[in-house]
A and B are shown apart, each in its own frame.
Chain A
């Protein structure tokens, strides 16, 4: 058996590791992966070329900025996270990290990420990064989340900016093509989040967050999901219609969109939690698939010459 002082050392090391893990969890790494992927896609799809080191720095800045916004959100929402089953184990909800520490950590990361983006890449991308963080923190978290069922519709814009940031990192401007990428994620966010809210409805009701299923009921929410998925279909075809993606993408968008619509209609008929969970999971696969198709389309040479890449 190890002597007591060695045991204390082992316990302290384990404590240090768990503290690092807590700070990592504060950044919501799951959400960050989708943000990084969409930003990288925007960076790759943009006309022009960025040095690999600068491209890496740009993606790193987007990842850190997304983490910063998540940390601030965790700090602010600790009171309701504590009550909700889905979030009750978050470091700020359990008290392993104090609200003040989470907020300070988030603000510091936000400043560092935007400054590095501006100095290393360009200030248009840095400005868009500031808008992204500010939108998530001030518009979604502080203003809309606890006030209106439209919280996720308007607040969802925050998650739609990353491909635009990636695009601006290469070109230094915002174009119609990058706006279309923004629009796809913007329209995708409500059905994605409402599918989650359908099976976490009790959680949101308990803490008084007016998510659509809480305020309008599950039937209306299901109809809204179908409506948004229907709207998403033509929007997802815009890159092909406007000529900055080729037939490969067009077919993928049709297939993935058809699958999403089928899943949404199934959700209206089969009102089980299992179908809501499946719809939520499919929505993630859908967005990954759509952006992967855009990248593959360009990599394989299906994309026509980008006419929509011109600056606005």
Chain B
């Protein structure tokens, strides 16, 4: 039971990290487009 809960926690942590990295990648993609179009300072 405890091992299953630990597994679940670890899986959730991995998922959270993956989501954050995905969001960061998207953010940098957007920032790059803004900078490349010259409208960002």
Question: Interface size on A (CB < 8 Å)?
Answer: 17
Are A51 and B41 closer than 8 Å at their CB atoms?
yes
Q: A12, A19, A48, A51: which contacts B40 (Cβ < 8 A)?
A: A51
Are B30 and A53 closer than 8 Å at their CB atoms?
yes
Chain A minimum-CB-distance residue to B11? A16
CB contacts under 8 Å to B, within A266-295, are: none
Give the size range of B's interface with the partner: 10 to 19
Are B12 and A51 closer than 8 Å at their CB atoms?
no
Are B31 and A57 closer than 8 Å at their CB atoms?
yes
| Residue positions of B touching A, CB distance < 8 A | 5, 8-9, 12, 24, 27-28, 30-31, 34, 39-41
| Assembled-state Cα–Cα distance A51/B30 (Å) | 11
| Residues of chain B within 8 A of A89, CB atoms compared | none
Are A54 and B31 closer than 8 Å at their CB atoms?
yes
Q: How far is the CB of A126 from chain B (nearest CB, A)?
A: 14
Are B30 and A16 closer than 8 Å at their CB atoms?
no
Map CB proximity to B onto A91-109 as digits: 1 under 8 Å, 0 otherwise.
0000000000000000000
Q: A16, A112, A170, A172: which contacts B24 (Cβ < 8 A)?
A: A112
| Assembled-state Cα–Cα distance A57/B32 (Å) | 12
Are A120 and B12 closer than 8 Å at their CB atoms?
no
| Residues of chain B within 8 A of A172, CB atoms compared | 41
| Residues of chain A within 8 A of B27, CB atoms compared | 57, 116, 120
New contact pairs (8) apart from A57-B27, A120-B28, CB-CB < 8 Å: A12-B5, A16-B12, A19-B9, A49-B41, A51-B41, A53-B34, A54-B40, A122-B41
